[in-house]
Amino acid sequence: MSRTESLFSCFPSVDAALWKQRVLEELKGAEYSKIVWKTPEGFDMEPWYNRNTAAPAPEVPFQRVSNRWRICQQIGVDKLLDDPALLDDAIAGGAEAIELCFGGVPENAELERLLSALQEVDLTQVALYLSGAIYDPAALLERLATLPGFASNSGAMLFDALTAGADAALPLPPHSGFRTIAVDTTRFHEAGATITQELAIALSGVSDCLNRMTEAGADGAEAAAAIEIVFAVGTSHFPELAKLRAMRAMWPQLLAAYGVAADASAEPRIFVRSSIRSISTLDPYTNLLRLSTEALSAILGGCDTLQLAPFDPAGSVNAELSERITRNIQLLLREESSLGHVVDPAAGSFYIETMTASLCREAWKLFQQIEAKGGLGVAEASGTIAAMIAPAASARRKAVNTRRRTLVGINRYTVPPSAEVVAALKHGAAKAEEFEKLRMRMVAHAAAGGSTPRAAIWLHGDPSKSLRVAAFAEDFLRSGGFEVLPAVTIDPKTCNCRTMLRAEPDIVVFCWSGDSDLANVPTICATIQELRKESIIIMAAKPPENAEALLRAGLDRFIHLGSDAYADLLSLQHKTGVL
């Protein structure tokens, strides 16, 4: 008996039918479909898999001997020219790769200063990545070739072949290990693409590059060795992890179409960035958790290089501190969690193998559809790609706006922004989720001398229910930047509205637990409007059968789980004079 068999021999085996039977008992009459995940990728995921129910595991080839990845820090070229010490600080702080991002095409004098700063970097040890406004990649490569150690550098010129145009020349690497072409799916991710769509776009982008380069006379394997695939990784842990594994699994099949044998092809090199889709501007410390989750997905999925954006997009924290704390996320995951030791640690997990196989299947079908349209360039120019992404982007936006999808610090569990964040917003325009812009408008309103609208919570009924409703209402309104006053318990039958209106609230929220109390709503609304006509009256509940009558009696709206919170809060901002 093997050691593994001995370890598990005392545990009875559980087959899928028995497990499902126990689950149905626990569901107590609820549908089993309630716990089946209908993913945005076009397939369902069961909550549990075993060797008999899991999909056949795809082969995910790795040629590495460890899972060590490169910790990358992005530095704007303009900032570097102003402060060349940024390079030394990043490298001394643990960065093993530096991404220099060109904000615009550099003048000759600026390029000379940049090359001078790079003279001090050991390019045999620090991978150099270049991105942004790269107008003439061949000319830039010539200048870089004069740097000591560059001939041994293993970075990449992230020259985005997808935006360069079909007529742009795609340069081959000057030496082995360096990449000169990027197939960058980041902008599609930011536009709302699903993981399946990102993979299909990446496959089609690689296919376009291989086709152009082989037609120009390059060998298929040589062309593949010039490509760096760039993904953004989001906060959905398992799908993002499986995304990178799926790309590796499909890579040999794609290269085979260009005559590259599996044993002759280098594995794909994958550069991963953190996502900006869920970043909070007003509550930056929540981003540390998001970045950690995204980093974990990328590392376990097998990324080669990982670049995390600083956790504070508004700049409320000292830039050096923000970059150091963000960089330390990767150092902790490597040095303390030892994630660099095991190659493909997700292999063998029935759940992740099934997800990887499903992503491969769906992404390959979508890739074939894009190719049938003439390839990625043609499909994007014709609007096919935008039309493909639009429903997914709309579904995601709806999930955020209705708070079905929780973004901590953005549409749920928000706190007032710190004074440092408020001050930083005055000095620059930071990107933000549409939902978070509600609070940013409130901040701007207060900065312009306006008062923050206040909401009063009216409690009544069973405390175990009414307090829960009040907690929902408070979180709902705070996510729009409203101030919420302490809740007050009043019996609606007394119609004691003066107590509720003592603090002159802009909004009054009924958090009542009894349906029978709805009969008092018309009278109470009339009294509130008589005492303070400026107050807006809302009810935290799903609309009852007589909702229309209650709205005519003076209620402004019902707020509840699943209602369009963004639209409700925007409307309340208009009605309270914020907009």
Q: Is the pLDDT of residue 442 over 70?
A: yes
| pTM, rounded to two decimals | 0.93
The helix/strand/coil state of 408 is strand
- Give residue 3's pLDDT: 63
Q: Locate the DSSP E strands across 92-151.
A: 97-102, 127-132
Residues 6+ apart with CB under 8 A from 542: 558, 560
| Confidence class for position 495, pLDDT limits 50, 70, 90 | confident
Segment 210-215 shows an average pLDDT of 93
Domain total of the chain = 2
| Confidence class for position 126, pLDDT limits 50, 70, 90 | very high
208 and 306 assigned to the same domain:
yes
298 conformational bin, left if phi > 0, alpha if psi -120 to 50, beta if neither: alpha
205, part of any domain: yes
486 and 365 assigned to the same domain:
no
- Give residue 105's pLDDT: 82
- Give residue 1's pLDDT: 52
User: Residue 503 is part of a domain; what is its CATH number?
Assistant: 3.40.50.280
pLDDT, tens only, 73-125: 999 999 999 999 999 999 999 999 999 999 888 888 889 999 999 999 999 99
- Cβ–Cβ < 8 Å for 478, 413: no
154 and 270 assigned to the same domain:
yes
455 and 358 assigned to the same domain:
no
Helix (H) or strand (E) holding 72: strand 70-76
pLDDT, tens only, 4-26: 566 767 777 778 888 889 999 99
SS (H, E, C) 172-183: CCCCCCCECEEE
What is the domain range of residue 332? Answer: 70-336+344-373
Percent of the chain with pLDDT over 70: 98
Cα–Cα distance measured from residue 81 to residue 77, given in angstroms and rounded to the nearest whole number: 6
User: Residue 291 is part of a domain; what is its CATH number?
Assistant: 3.20.20.240
- Give residue 372's pLDDT: 96
Cα–Cα distance measured from residue 115 to residue 142, given in angstroms and rounded to the nearest whole number: 12
107 and 249 assigned to the same domain:
yes
Q: Which of 325, 355, 373 is the last residue of a domain?
A: 373
| Confidence class for position 183, pLDDT limits 50, 70, 90 | very high
Distance from chain centroid for Cα 327? 18
Cα–Cα distance measured from residue 174 to residue 560, given in angstroms and rounded to the nearest whole number: 60
Mean pLDDT of the chain: 93
64, part of any domain: no
- Give residue 6's pLDDT: 67
- Cβ–Cβ < 8 Å for 335, 69: no
Segment 402-407 shows an average pLDDT of 95
Q: Is the pLDDT of residue 506 over 70?
A: yes
216 and 312 assigned to the same domain:
yes
Residues 6+ apart with CB under 8 A from 178: 153, 154, 155, 156, 157
Helix (H) or strand (E) holding 74: strand 70-76
- Give residue 266's pLDDT: 81
Residues 6+ apart with CB under 8 A from 453: 482, 483, 506, 507, 572, 573, 576, 577, 578
- Give residue 125's pLDDT: 96
Segment 316-327 shows an average pLDDT of 94
- Give residue 429's pLDDT: 65
432, part of any domain: no
444, part of any domain: no
- Cβ–Cβ < 8 Å for 442, 481: yes
Q: Is the pLDDT of residue 426 over 60?
A: yes
Residues 6+ apart with CB under 8 A from 516: none
Q: Is the dihedral of CA 514, 516, 518, 520 positive or negative?
A: negative
Residue 227 pairs in a beta bridge with: 181
| Confidence class for position 136, pLDDT limits 50, 70, 90 | confident
Q: Is the pLDDT of residue 512 over 60?
A: yes
255 and 357 assigned to the same domain:
yes
- Cβ–Cβ < 8 Å for 412, 477: no
487, part of any domain: yes
Residue 179 pairs in a beta bridge with: 156
459, part of any domain: yes
312, part of any domain: yes
428, part of any domain: no
